[in-house]
Amino acid sequence: MISCLLLKFEKESFFFRRYSISTNLSSRVGYFNPAWNDSNSQEKEELGFKQAMELIGKEFLDRFHFYLHVWWPARALLEQAIANRFKIDPSGSILKFDRSFPWREHLFDIEKEQSSTLGTTIKYVLYPDTNKTWRIQAVPVNPTSFENRLSLPKQWQGLRDNDLSTKSGIPNCIFVHASGFIGGNATYDGVLAMAQQSLQLANTN
């Protein structure tokens, strides 16, 4: 009994080691085709065609609603934040959001489109989190990079709470990540001060 279970486990482990996920819309549509040894293949093919059409229709509507109700509204919020950036800080390098939303992909698209008029490079975005505190996030050098245009100061990285507030001279600090890509403060004024001081330190070093 035990030997049979071990053999079964070895076979399944071998299967999962070789298993990889490789699916897309075309492959999912292909699953509706009748198998080579399926009886009533003509009937199965007609049924599969109807099922494939339903799948494609749902996929198209899902994408349409996503771009209309999720993707495009996020771009509109980012465009507004970019237009108001000099009200946040004279450098124009800091954006403020009233809520968290997917901004990264849009930012690089807008910067490319407005390269002749945008002027300064955007370094930081500020936004409230779910705990009603504020976050500062460094803008990466490209949409998929872990490297930042300007990380939060090295002397702040990995510090929290009072240690961070003492080191930075900014009250109500919560944390700065060890890599310097994100930080937090209990207030908007505090997180803005973190961004402004980060810019000043970069300019003086």
Mean pLDDT by 10 residues, the chain (205 residues): 47 51 71 73 77 81 83 92 95 95 90 80 95 96 90 97 97 97 98 97 79
pLDDT at 48 (0 to 100): 78
pLDDT of residue 205: 58
Distance CA(54)–CA(193), nearest Å, equals 53
Domain boundaries, given as residue ranges, for the chain: 68-204
**Per-residue burial over 12-28, b = 16 or more CB atoms within 10 Å of its CB, e = otherwise:** eeeeeeeeeeeeeeeee
Alpha-carbon gap, residue 191 to 204, rounded angstroms: 20
φ, ψ of residue 182 in degrees (nearest 5) = -150, 150
The model's pTM is: 0.72
Q: Which two tokens stand for residue 66?
A: 């996503």
What is the rounded CA–CA span in Å between residue 77 and residue 95?
A: 11
Q: Can you give the pLDDT at residue 179? A: 95
What are the backbone angles phi and psi of residue 140, rounded to the nearest 5°? -75, 165
Quick one: pLDDT at residue 195? 98
